[in-house]
Every structure is written in structure tokens, then in C-alpha cells.
Structure 1
Amino acid sequence: MSLWLDMLGVEIRFVETKSFGRIRIAEAGCGNPETILFMHGINGHLEAYAKNLVSLGRNFHVLAFDFVGHGLSDKPVIEYSPLVFSEQLGELMDALGLEAAHLSGESLGGWVSAFFAVKYPERVKRLMLNTAAGIPVVSEKGKADLANLIALNQRNVQAMPTRDSVRARLEWLMHENNRALVNDELISLRLGFYLMPETQRVAPIINGIINRHDEFLVPFEQLQTAPLFLWTADNPIHDLDAARAAARRVPDSQIYVMEGDSAHWPQYEAPDEFDRVATEFFTTGKVSGCAPL
């Protein structure tokens, strides 16, 4: 199915923020009382949640957005970091009139969400960390996976991005049984973003965040909101051992391991299961079938 059919009924618009310019958002479920903000990974874009917004919009007010420097949001030449993105999140909430909201972030998005929850606990209701970055790598495999991600990203930064380099980056996100999801439409969309002159200017700065990963580890002991770690057995970076070690640092944390085939993009690879878990968590704060810490 086309991304645009997946998002039929979702409103795409731009919101002006105080310090970060125009931010592209996708919104559904306007009028529902509880708001969830969804955040994509590094070099990503809001279409990472194309398969979730309509479904979850039946019960929640849901928004996904492009981080500054990504997708079709403005791309100033600034010193990008997870802390900068967390300030963007706060300014976007201000622009939308949201005093507080539920947060769900994948990869970089989870990293940013956790930092935001540490600094602004009064603005965070419930927190889902979806295959999140910003946690210590605890295994040799995790270190090798991090090196592999750096190499894949450099192919799209140090040289002009191509369909092959973008395909390799997208396939890295997916479980081997889900490679068919890396279709021409998704490749063309991401390649189009990468080839924008504005993206070319800021991409080296943004990708430098990965090399500095351990400079921005989340201080989990300072979290006042117990998160749900939504993980996969085949996450290509930050394996289950890393997630469990992080979760044990926050009282009352939960870990849910996806049952359906998924790697780093569970919301896209197994959307029905993801939406069911998200609905349960953001409604009740608990999820059935969680794994032991």
C-alpha cells in the first residue's frame, strides 16, 4: 500500500516555532483529549509513523513531526544534538498549545524524549522509548552494530546519496523478513530529502551525533516518569541486554518485546501490534505480556 493511502485522513501542515523555524507535522484525531507526539530516528522523517497515525487517531490526538534539519522542516546550520532536539520538542508543544503530552520516540526520537522528560517532567504524561538510542552499549555485538550504522550513514554524507546507499540504510532498519517494505516509494521519498541542498549542508553535523553517542547518554536515574521500553529481539543496535540494563535504572519501568518480525522500526514493520501496545500503555500505563527485567 502507498504511504499516502496509509495516511489518508491525516493532515500535513507546517508550524512556526520560536527558534527552529518551520516544522512539518502530521496530525490526526483532533478533538481527542489525550495527545501523543511521535518522533523519528536520525536521518529520518515523520513518514516513519505513516502506518500508525490513522489507527491511533481513533482514540488519541496524534502528531508526528520532522526534527529540525530533517525531512521538510527547516534546516539551519546549528550545533545539532539530542539536547537541541529536545528544546525543539518543547517549542513545538508551545506552538501547538500543549502544556503536556504523551511521548513516543524511535531511536533518536526516544533519546530526545528521554532527555526532555528529565528536564521537563511536568510536560510528560507517559513515555514510550521505542528501540531508543542514548543508552550504554553493553555487548561487543552492540559496539559492532554501532560501527556499522556509522558506516552506513557516511555513505549518504561523505558521498552523494544514491538509491543503493539509501536502500542499504533503510534495509538496516528492517527485519530480514520485512525487506519488501523497502520499496521504490520509500526509497524515493528518503532520497529526495537527502538530495536537498539544505540537507546536504547539515547532514554531516547531524551524523556527527552518532560518533558522539556516549557524550549524551540519558541520565535514567533522573527520570520521574517510568518508561515503557518497546524493543525487538532483532534490534540492530542497542540489544535487549542494553535495554534491560537501562530499564533497571528507573523504578517501575516495563519492557515489551515485539512478537511480530521487526528490527529497528517496529511501528512500521508490525503496526497492528505496535498500535495495540501503544493504545494499552497510553490508556492505562501498563502493558500485558511484558518481559522480565
Structure 2
Amino acid sequence: MSIWIDFLGAEVRYVHTPRFGATRVIEAGRQHRETLVLMHGIGGHVEAYAKNVVALAQHYHVIAFDFVGQGLSEKKTDLSYEIDDYVEQLRELLDALDIERAHVSGESLGGVVTGCFAVKYPQRVRRIVLNTTGGIPIVSEQGHRDLKNLAELSQRNFGKPPTAESVRARMQWLIHESNWHLLDDELIGSRLAIYSRPDFQQSAPLVFGRLMRKAGDDSQRMDMIELERLQCETLLLWTKHNPIHDVHAAQAALPRIAKGTLYVMQGDAAHWPQYEHPEEFNAVMRSFLSTGQV
């Protein structure tokens, strides 16, 4: 099924933010009182939520957006692309859309932004979902090997023109091998088209360079969520095969969150549970966001 058949019923538009310029938004369910914001991982884009926006819009006003420098949002070259830049982009987007409070969910980098936003602006969030998030300690040797492998994969492609093969290799890192059949020509082609744009070629060294420096240098502290400062109900939504931050990392983080819950997906998935097993993901999201329980 096409990504854009999945998105039927959603609106694609650009929202201007004061500091970060044009932000691409895919939106559905505007008639609902409660808003849910979905945020992708590093180097990603809103197509990561193709199987979730319309389904979750049956119950929520759903907004998925591209981070600055990524997807089809504005490619700023005067940013350092710190986590706080993404946090402020989210705040400015909510302000521009006149949304006072929202449920917020992020995957990978989006999870770090979700957690840091909830710490900085607790009055702006309802419930949050940290979906295979970064920003928590790596506790296993395999996790450290996964991080090194990601840095090496990124380094091999750094500064080179993207190809279908290089994009497929990176996306195979995201998805469990039993789900590689989901990596069809459209999904690979859409990311290749975004990565091939001249504006992305300008922002990519800024977006990815910071990650590679921190991943490759043990002396540089990775960005961490201040878990003890989270005041809202928080779901750690995990998978059995998540790279870098495995289930043990999630289990170690859970006691540090006052109102935390851990759910591990039943279906085999890696870093993209929302795309690999959307029916289970959407059901868990609806349950947690409506009741605080899974």
C-alpha cells in the first residue's frame, strides 16, 4: 500500500515558526479536543508515521512534523542542532497552532526531544510516550557496539551523494530483518529524494555531524533526559530488538520516572515499531493516552 494512501484524509501544510522558519506538518483529526504530536528520529521525516496519523486521528487531533534541517522543513545553516533547538521548535509550533497542551510522542531523537520538552515545559504536556528513545543510559555491551556500528555507518556515507543502496542500508538498521519487506521502492525512494535535495546536503553535516562526534568520542556526554524531573505520566514504548538502547536500558530507566510505565511490543520490531507493527502500536497509544495505562 502506498504511503499516500495511508495518509488519505490528512492535510499537508507548512507552518511558519519565528526562529525555525517553515515547518512541514501532516495533520488530521482537527475536530478533537486533545492534540497528539508525533516526532521522528534523526535524519527522518513525517513519512515514518504514515501508518499512524489517520488511525490515531479517530480520537485525537494528530500532528506529525519534520524537524528543522530534516525532511521538507526549512534547512537552517545557522543552528548548532542541539536538543534544545528541537525543543524550541516544538514550542514555537504549538504556539503558532494555538495549542496550549498536548500529548507528545517521539521516536529515537524525537523521544529525547519529547522528554526534554516535558522537563522544560511541564505545563505544555498531558501524557508523553518515549518510543525507543535515546537520552537514557546504555547499559549493555551490545548497546555500545550498536552505537559504534551506527557511527561507522554514518561515517561511511558522510559527505557522499546518497544512493538507493546507502539509504536502504541505513533503513535496514532501523527495521527488524523480519520486516525488511516493508522497505519498498516508495519508502526508499521518498527518503532518497529528500536526502538528494541540495538544501538537505547543506544541513546534513550539521544534523549528523554532532551525533557522530558524540558517538565516536567517549569523552563527550550524550544528550540525556532528566528522567527524575518528568512530572507527567510517561510510557516507555519499547521493542525486543531495539538497537543501542535495548530492553535492559528501558528497564533500568523505568524506576527513575515517577509516573512511568514500560510496554514492550509483542511483534518483532527494532527501532520503528510505529511502522513495523502499526496496529499494535496504535492500540497501545490509544490505551495509554486515554487512560494512562496499557
- Give the shorter-chain TM-score range: over 0.9
User: 8 Å contact 1:110–1:129 — kept in the other structure?
Assistant: yes
| Alpha-carbon shift at residue 198 of structure 1 (Å) | 1.2
Aligned residue pairs: how many? Answer: 287
User: 8 Å contact 2:135–2:222 — kept in the other structure?
Assistant: no
Sort the Cα spacing of 1:240 and 1:10 in 2 relative to 1 into closer, same or farther, 3 A: same
User: 8 Å contact 1:155–1:161 — kept in the other structure?
Assistant: no
- Other-structure match for 1:222: 229
| Alpha-carbon shift at residue 122 of structure 1 (Å) | 0.3
Matches within 5 A, 1:1-80: 1-77=1-77, 78-80=79-81
Counterpart Cα distance in 1 of 2:37 and 2:66: 11
Counterpart Cα distance in 2 of 1:180 and 1:270: 13
Counterpart Cα distance in 2 of 1:13 and 1:184: 25
User: 8 Å contact 1:24–1:73 — kept in the other structure?
Assistant: yes
- Other-structure match for 2:162: 161
* Structure 1 residues without counterparts, runs of 5 or longer: 288-293
Counterpart Cα distance in 1 of 2:222 and 2:145: 18
Counterpart Cα distance in 1 of 2:14 and 2:64: 12
Counterpart Cα distance in 2 of 1:157 and 1:25: 27
Counterpart Cα distance in 2 of 1:68 and 1:14: 12
- Other-structure match for 1:148: 149
TM-score by length of 1: 0.96
User: 8 Å contact 2:52–2:282 — kept in the other structure?
Assistant: yes
Identity, in percent, stands at 53
TM-score by length of 2: 0.95
* Structure 2 residues without counterparts, runs of 5 or longer: 216-220
- Post-superposition CA distance 1:182-219 (Å, at most 9, x none): 11111111011111111111111111332326342111
User: 8 Å contact 1:34–1:101 — kept in the other structure?
Assistant: yes
SS of 2:190 mapped into structure 1: helix
| Alpha-carbon shift at residue 252 of structure 1 (Å) | 2.7
| Alpha-carbon shift at residue 243 of structure 1 (Å) | 1.0
Give yes or no for the alignment of 1:212 onto 2:214. Answer: yes
Give yes or no for the alignment of 1:244 onto 2:246. Answer: no
| Alpha-carbon shift at residue 54 of structure 1 (Å) | 1.0
- CA RMSD, Structure 1 to Structure 2 (Å): 1.0
- Other-structure match for 2:262: 255
Counterpart Cα distance in 1 of 2:252 and 2:286: 25
1:234 pairs with one of 222, 227, 241: 241
- Other-structure match for 1:290: none
Name the aligned partner's letter for residue 73 of structure 2.
Answer: S
Name the aligned partner's letter for residue 86 of structure 1.
Answer: V
